[in-house]
Amino acid sequence: MGNELELTYVLLSRDVSELLADNHSDLATLMTQQDPPVACRPCSDPAFSAQGSKDLSAVLVSAAVLAAGLTPLLLRLIGRLTSRPVLVTELVLVPVEDSSGVVVQDADSQPVLYWAERVRFVEPSSDAGPFSVSVQALGVRIDLGNPDNV
Amino acid sequence: MSSRRRIAFVFGSNGPADPAIEPLRFALDDVRRVARALRSRRCGFDVIVPRDDATVDEALHQLGEAADSCDAGDDFVFYFSGHGILSRGSLVLLWHHTQWATRPSNTAIPISRIMAILDFCKASNKILILDCCHAGAAASALGLKSGRGVALQDAGVTANHLVLMASDRLESARELSSLGGSFMTTKLCHALTRPVEKVDLDDDGAISVQDLATWLARQASEYNRTYRADVPVPYLAGQLRGQFFFTQTTSWPAWKINLPNGTATLLPIGRRITTSHPFDRVTTVTAIFDNLVTNAEYSRFCSDKVSQPVGLDFVEGRWSGPFRPWDDPRFNDPSQPVVCISARACLRSRFIAIR
């Protein structure tokens, strides 16, 4: 897959998944129908794959899209299907650490990972930023807000 | 008239070699275990499993051949374990060779293709078992938005199609290292290979699809409660006309016990016999004597190896017990006919049980 930080995971809430399914669509299809098409594909959520989930509802997008504005694109694509507000949360995939800072591993000696919310998106870069060691991947989560807040 | 056939098409995949897709660890094991359970004498299915390296076309061709070979009155089971994905709202099953990004139409398996094949299948009983994510989307292929909560008889389908699903349309099925397989499949195999009464909820001596679905749902709820887990609760959708049994119903095998002056034929009360040895499962049977046997004769014949018989009494429309006739002055006179015998004790006393 190459460098994970060249890719961004898009995670869908149940509401968004249901919205797409009810409209006989899915995020990968919507993105590849853009002009120009956005390269993406379904994938396992790396934070859950070690738990035996058979789910492939996450979507992997080239991080190059970020520069062109992944968040506005997602807002537009999902927003076309609903009157509810679309919420996009930026995430980083980081390992779970115990109280002494040691990375927790699963039964297969793989690090246990989780998605942590970030207020501000951390761009992958070559210089050693605060997450350069521990960040495993970048992601965004799409959810639908309360319709009363429209 | 041809005899009723039971055919199962069992397949699955750990998923394609795609770095973005976490391979499953137990889907192929699931296939082997389900195939073994369905092939067992207890279930009696002719099981067809595609080769591990079969292409999608080869597997579906084989499925079509199997489905087309069915006649009215036959039972047909389709089973899949693996990755399921929602594409444009429809369920698609992933295969070893699936190239989702470049060749999805020829390397993945839309559930609609499976349904189309099964539509032509003449079997009276057809059931799909889907142990994958988003399995509930298969209900859409039966004309339902989502199967959960839809009464079987309300499903607007014309054939006896049933779908047993490991997950609802938006849920993720799970495989668990602790079980060495997918949750639903592991429990399914337990149900089909372990003592029947745990799953036979209606006490009719066989495991129907409804017995199985109810038991699986209870197992999932219990597992989630015990382990604070979130495995999806399996459920059944479709239309059921009459019964569909996973295990073969067995008739009473006319067990008889030889007694001093004749025989006693044993008939079951409640649960039927479902194993080769009737007393493994049945503790209470009705004994019909072809000659009168008195308490004295029975006691003498059994000698001291047999404790007094214990049975059930039919009181106010139901069987209740324990009933000890030799403690009851109405029944314990040595010259009176014995009203209750112990089948287990008879066996222990080397009475000969014959078929």
Where do the domains of chain A lie? 4-149
- A23: which chain B residues are within 8 Å (Cβ-Cβ)? 89
Cβ atoms B169, B228 nearer than 8 A: no
Query: What gap in Å lies between CA A49 and CA A92, rounded to an integer?
Result: 16
pLDDT at A69: 77
Per-residue pLDDT of chain B (355 residues; tens, 9 = 90+): 447 899 999 999 999 988 888 899 999 999 999 999 999 988 999 999 999 889 999 999 999 999 999 998 899 999 999 999 999 989 999 999 998 878 888 899 999 999 999 989 999 899 999 999 999 998 876 665 455 555 444 444 445 778 999 999 899 898 998 899 999 999 999 999 887 667 888 777 789 999 999 999 999 999 999 998 889 999 998 877 777 899 886 555 556 777 667 777 766 555 444 444 444 444 456 677 777 878 887 777 766 555 677 777 777 777 677 888 888 888 889 888 888 776 666 655 544 444 3
pLDDT at B144: 55
Domains and CATH numbers, chain B: 6-238 (3.40.50.1460), 256-354 (no CATH)
Q: Which of A25, A46, A56 sits opposite B88 (nearest CB)?
A: A25
Chain B: nearest CA to A27, how far in angstroms?
A: 9
Chain A: nearest CA to B22, how far in angstroms?
A: 6
- Decide if A6 touches B, using CB distance below 8 A: no
> Is this prediction's ipTM beyond 0.90?
no
CB pair distance less than 8 Å for A48 and B172 = yes
- A20: which chain B residues are within 8 Å (Cβ-Cβ)? 86, 89
Report field, pTM of the whole predicted structure over 0.80: no
- Decide if A20 touches B, using CB distance below 8 A: yes
pLDDT tens digits, residue range A50-109? 667 777 878 888 766 665 578 888 888 899 999 999 998 888 889 988 888 888 888 778
The full 3-state SS of B276-317, as one line of letters, equals: CCHHHCCCCEEEEECCCCEHHHHHHHHHHHCCCCCEEEEECC
Query: What gap in Å lies between CA A14 and CA A17, rounded to an integer?
Result: 5
Give the number of other CB atoms < 10 A from CB of residue A48. Answer: 19
Catalogue the E-assigned strands of B203-276.
Answer: 235-238, 256-259, 262-268
Query: What gap in Å lies between CA B56 and CA B98, rounded to an integer?
Result: 8
- B139: which chain A residues are within 8 Å (Cβ-Cβ)? none
